[in-house]
Amino acid sequence: MNTVELEAGKMQLVRAIASINDPEVLAAVREVMYEKLGCPPLQYTKEQLEEALIESEEDFKAGRYKSSSEVFERLEADTRRNPASLADYFR
C-alpha cells in the first residue's frame, strides 16, 4: 500500500466513524481501535465532564462552533497539503 492509498483509507475510515449513530457500535469501534493502537481511552472526572459540557453549551449559544461538513472540509484540505497532519487530529 502506497502513501496515497494509506491516506485515502484513513479518510474513508474517518468518514465511516463519523457516520456511526449507534452508541454501542461506536463504543465497540473505539475499544478495538484502542486495543490495536495500544492507547488507552481518556479518563475524566464527572466534574471535568460537567465543566466541559457547560463550556460547550456556552460556545454553541455564542455561535462558536463548526458543522461536521466544515470540519471534514478542513481535515481533507489539511491532509491534502500535509498527509502527516492527519495523525495530529487524533492526538
DSSP 5-73: HHHHHHHHHHHHHHT---HHHHHHHHHHHHHHHT-PPP---HHHHHHHHHHHHHHHHTT----HHHHHH
- pLDDT for residue 40 is more than 70: no
15: pLDDT confidence band, cut at 50, 70 and 90? Answer: very high
User: pLDDT at position 78, please?
Assistant: 81
How high does pLDDT run on average in the chain? 85
Mean pLDDT of 54-69: 93
- pLDDT for residue 55 is more than 80: yes
- pLDDT for residue 91 is more than 60: no
Q: Please give the model's pTM, rounded to 2 decimal places.
A: 0.41
